[in-house]
Structure 1
Amino acid sequence: MKKKISKIDLSLISIPLLSVLLLSCIFFIFPNESKSFLVNIRSEINKYFSGYYLWVGILFLLSTLVLAFSPLGNIKIGKENDKPIYPTLKWGMMIFTSTMSADVIFYSLCEWMMYIGEPTIQSKKNPFEWSLTYSLFHWGPIAWSFYIMLAVAFGYMLYVSQNKKQKFSEACRPIFGKSIDGLVGKIIDLIAIFSLVAATATTFSMSLPLLAQVAKTLFHIGNIHIWSLILMAIIVMIYLSISLLGLKAMSRFSVIAFSVFGLLLLYVLVVSGGAQYDVNAGMTALKNLTTNFISLALPKKIGSFTQNWTVYYWSYWIVWCVATPFFIGSISKGKKIREIILGAYFWGLSGTFLSFIILSNFGIGEQIKGVLNITALLNKEVSYPVIITTLFKTLPNYQWGLIILSAAMIGLYCTVFDSITMVISKYSYKNLLVEENPSRKMRGFWAIAFSIFPLALILTGESVYNIQSVAIIAAFPTSIVMILIVISFYKSLVDRKKAS
């Protein structure tokens, strides 16, 4: 037992856990003060650093394109004779399901509702068309570039450089050297863990109430808070069980989750009868995105819409970057850098764009046809989960739609948290070789720890704005580390070339 404990970096477990418990207590005891604190910090970040977030996104996108379409793209992640661990289809499914939690369903259904009242959207000739355009932008190439660039860097670290530690900080060793074994590395790893706590809090807090509302609608009993607790426990038990079984079980479950997600899209597309409208509206939104991409990414004037949404989304993806890219890199052994980049873009953009085009247009179509006056419900401040379940009730045999929706959300929750529980458990050891896996007790600990803070946010009834603020604040230090990782990666390539 002493030998096992000696391998664990106790500070990377105790400090985050105590901090999460403290933050949860503060949100419970001082809800108004904590909200005010979040608002003030977010406003300061928006005031001074909005441009910084936008440029980070552009630089990551350009970096992936340079790697993919230059001779560097021929570098294999692994040895020359290494073959891919997974076939392309399964690899692609694992990428999508390890990166897209139930948030992709939640936002696909209601993000256009969040935008429709914004002055920026209202000023457009066709507000519904542009609300979808902005959704595709916020879930498009820049967002995926964060994951993809770091996935390549982590894959290179694991299988080419063959570093002897599986930690977030280890990717910075090329520029920090032995300092990464001391305080510098400790700070970077703590930033990573706190960032991931913020990521899980944002994800669960935003979309779990929808799952709870669906359960309440189907069973006609209970309230949102009770259902949130029950569903959180079910999700934790499922993804913990799969995580304990290892990568083989995770890969199989990702196929199931991806299939159920596809079934949801097919169900809505067919049953709603809006296939033609979805295709036409989707093509228009894609055209808008393509022709206006630069102005969307780098607007001449950074207004409230950019600060409230684009900066939030880049932050949302950044806080997930401490674990998800590590997982993608770990399953990409045997592939060339170009294959990883182009393959991840294909699977990522295909899945997210289809989700938004089908699910967003489902609601927009019902609004335009007059089947359901969603904007009137928004004006009455009806919650998004209630509006979404009401929207599904417009379908024949809507109960089946809600069941598939629930299954898809639970499946995506579990696959994402399978991957991050595995990764964050690896970060918790002082030394862990690539071929070694963390203990089951460690994975169980993090599976439970990740549920504490989001439950605090849900039970205290935090607003969308304040939940978003948690991600934006956590993303700032994380983005700095991400830039250091990219610099370290390119330094590794230069050092490799000099050595050869």
Structure 2
Amino acid sequence: MKNKLKVIDWQLLFIPVICILILCIFFVTNSLGSKRVLENVRFILSHHFNIYYMIIAIVFFGGSILLAFSKYGKVKLGTGTPEYSSIKWGMMIFTSTMSADIIFYSFCEWMMYFNESFIKDKSGNALEWSLTYSLFHWGPIAWSFYILLAAAFGYMLYVTKNKKQKFSEACRPILKHRTDGISGKLIDLIAIFSLIAATATTFSMSMPLLAASVGNILHINDQKALSLILILMVVGVYLVISILGMKAISRLSVIAFSIFGLLLLYVLIFSNQAPFITNLGVNSIGNLIVNFPQMTVITKVNSFTENWTIYYWSYWMVWCVATPFFIGSISKGRTLRNLIVGGYLWGLAGTYMSFIVLSGFGISRQSQNIINAVQLSNQGKSYADIIIQLLQTLPNYKIVLVLLIFAMVGLYSTVFDSITMVVSKYSYKSLELEKEPSKMMRGFWAIVFMILPITLLFNNDSVYDIQSVAIITAVPTGLVMLLIIGSFWKELRRNQEI
């Protein structure tokens, strides 16, 4: 037991927990004050540092394409054949990165955008542009954050074979011995704080939809109590699966992806709007391709880019401390080109199918005046209730609610399985590649991850306040991401010249 305790990095356990508890106490005891702090800091970052987020977006998207089709794209991660088949590998990539919030946003993000003057001022169909910007914010740039870092982590694990499985290890080529000192410790703390912010944002945004769906079926009206029960249930599921290990995670990924696919198929077929949805999707993708460069380069700050584009780049950035590590760890035997191209194909296919089908379904109901979702949202009705109302227009709508519930629980579980596994690895002073963290360590982080989202849910924080947590945390995370990519390129060029 003493030997097991010696290998644990206690600072990386206690410091985050203490800070989370202080933050939660501040949110609960000073609700209005915490809101003002979040709003002020968010405004400063979004309004004056937009160029920072734009540079990171360009570096990662351009860097991933450059790497894939350069001579380095042929570099193989380790030896032998891939551990997972292409299909299972692709499903694991999607389900380890896209949590249940993709279902929530796919159903209602177009409503949020439609109310923005920036979208209404666009020439053409405002509803079509709403979907176009969803595809942009959940598209190639978002996935480039994951994919390029996954290549860096995969290279670290299987080519240079670093002895430590830590976020800071990816910075060793530049930091050198400082990785083992305060600099490395600070990077690992930033990684853990970012991950806590990411899980809090995800749970807080999408849990009301899961609670509303379960409540509709079971006729339960107390949404807060139901949300708490569901959070505990999700934590229980992903805790059990993470303890069982990688085989259980891979199987759950297949199950979650399959149920998610059935949800999309049900909505597409029984909405009787397949031609409308398909046409809307094709037009929106066409809009995205034509306007992608000017959408990427934020030359003029406006309320839309502040509220949404910068938020999303921040959101993906805070998730980047764990999901890319997981993707890199399951990519042994693949080339960098295969990882990058395959990651984009699987990631964009799953994400775009979700938004085109689910947003297209809602937009079709709006266009035909069956449900005026935009008006309902303007009147203050919750997005979760509007989504339920939209689904009630489907035949046997409770079937689709059951699919939605299982898909959300499955996606929650697969994402948190992967991040619990990764953050547990970060918590050791050193952990050999073939070894997994202890069950107790994974259980500890499973519990820690639910503290902040429960606080945000019961503190009645608005969407804006919840998003602000991710934006603030993303600032130091982005600097570390750039440091990792710089280290990766340095190591890649050095090793290939030898």
* TM-score, structure 1 as length reference: 0.99
Instruction: State the alpha-carbon separation in 1 of the partners of residues 347 and 66 from structure 2.
Output: 19
Q: Deviations over 1:73-101 (max 9, x none)?
A: 0000113xx21010100000000000000
Residue 299 of structure 1: how far off its partner (Å) = 3.5
Residue 300 of structure 1: how far off its partner (Å) = 3.2
Q: Which moved more, 1:42-51 or 1:346-355?
A: 42-51
Q: What corresponds to 2:108 in structure 1?
A: 110
Residue 217 of structure 1: how far off its partner (Å) = 1.1
Q: Deviations over 1:192-241 (max 9, x none)?
A: 00000000000000000110111111111241110111100110110100
AA aligned to 1:91 is W
Q: What corresponds to 2:204 in structure 1?
A: 205
Q: What corresponds to 2:40 in structure 1?
A: 40
Give SS of 2:49's match: helix
Q: How do 1:78-477 residues align onto structure 2 when only pairs under 5 Å count?
A: 78-79=78-79, 82-124=80-122, 125-477=124-476
Residue 3 of structure 1: how far off its partner (Å) = 1.1
Instruction: State the alpha-carbon separation in 1 of the partners of residues 351 and 78 from structure 2.
Output: 29
Instruction: State the alpha-carbon separation in 2 of the partners of residues 310 and 366 from structure 1.
Output: 26
Q: Deviations over 1:410-434 (max 9, x none)?
A: 0000000000000000000000010
Q: Deviations over 1:423-480 (max 9, x none)?
A: 0000000000100100000000000100000000000010000111000000000000
Instruction: State the alpha-carbon separation in 1 of the partners of residues 490 and 375 from structure 2.
Output: 55
Instruction: State the alpha-carbon separation in 1 of the partners of residues 253 and 265 from structure 2.
Output: 18
Give SS of 2:141's match: helix
Q: Deviations over 1:14-55 (max 9, x none)?
A: 000111111111111111000100001111111221111012
Instruction: State the alpha-carbon separation in 1 of the partners of residues 16 and 180 from structure 2.
Output: 19
Give SS of 1:292's match: helix
Gaps of 5+ in 1: none
Instruction: State the alpha-carbon separation in 1 of the partners of residues 187 and 299 from structure 2.
Output: 34
1:10 aligns with 2:10: yes
Instruction: State the alpha-carbon separation in 2 of the partners of residues 211 and 141 from structure 1.
Output: 28
- 8 A contact 2:277–2:356 mirrored in 1: yes
AA aligned to 1:22 is I
Gaps of 5+ in 2: none
Residue 303 of structure 1: how far off its partner (Å) = 1.1
Give SS of 2:436's match: coil
- 8 A contact 2:243–2:442 mirrored in 1: yes
Instruction: State the alpha-carbon separation in 2 of the partners of residues 217 and 22 from structure 1.
Output: 36
Q: What corresponds to 2:75 in structure 1?
A: 75
Instruction: State the alpha-carbon separation in 1 of the partners of residues 239 and 192 from structure 2.
Output: 18
Q: What corresponds to 1:64 in structure 2?
A: 64
Fraction of identical pairs, as percent = 58
Instruction: State the alpha-carbon separation in 1 of the partners of residues 453 and 146 from structure 2.
Output: 23
Give SS of 1:164's match: coil
Residue 105 of structure 1: how far off its partner (Å) = 0.4
Q: Deviations over 1:305-346 (max 9, x none)?
A: 111100000000000000000000000000000000000000
Q: Which moved more, 1:326-335 or 1:375-384?
A: 375-384
Instruction: State the alpha-carbon separation in 2 of the partners of residues 419 and 376 from structure 1.
Output: 39
Instruction: State the alpha-carbon separation in 1 of the partners of residues 11 and 221 from structure 2.
Output: 40
Q: Deviations over 1:352-392 (max 9, x none)?
A: 00000000011000011111111221121101001001111
Instruction: State the alpha-carbon separation in 1 of the partners of residues 87 and 180 from structure 2.
Output: 38
* TM-score, structure 2 as length reference: 0.99
AA aligned to 1:108 is S
Q: What corresponds to 2:55 in structure 1?
A: 55
- 8 A contact 2:315–2:470 mirrored in 1: yes
AA aligned to 1:284 is N
AA aligned to 1:380 is Q
AA aligned to 1:184 is S
- Report runs of 4+ in structure 1 exceeding 6 Å deviation: none
Alpha-carbon RMSD: 0.7
Instruction: State the alpha-carbon separation in 2 of the partners of residues 54 and 273 from structure 1.
Output: 40
Instruction: State the alpha-carbon separation in 1 of the partners of residues 25 and 227 from structure 2.
Output: 19
Residue 497 of structure 1: how far off its partner (Å) = 2.8
Residue 394 of structure 1: how far off its partner (Å) = 1.0
Q: Deviations over 1:228-256 (max 9, x none)?
A: 11100110110100000000110011000
Instruction: State the alpha-carbon separation in 2 of the partners of residues 47 and 117 from structure 1.
Output: 20
Give SS of 2:393's match: coil
Residue 494 of structure 1: how far off its partner (Å) = 2.0
Give SS of 2:163's match: coil
Instruction: State the alpha-carbon separation in 2 of the partners of residues 194 and 111 from structure 1.
Output: 27
Instruction: State the alpha-carbon separation in 2 of the partners of residues 40 and 376 from structure 1.
Output: 29
Instruction: State the alpha-carbon separation in 2 of the partners of residues 304 and 379 from structure 1.
Output: 18
Q: Deviations over 1:111-152 (max 9, x none)?
A: 001101000111122110000000000000000000000000
Instruction: State the alpha-carbon separation in 1 of the partners of residues 309 and 446 from structure 2.
Output: 30
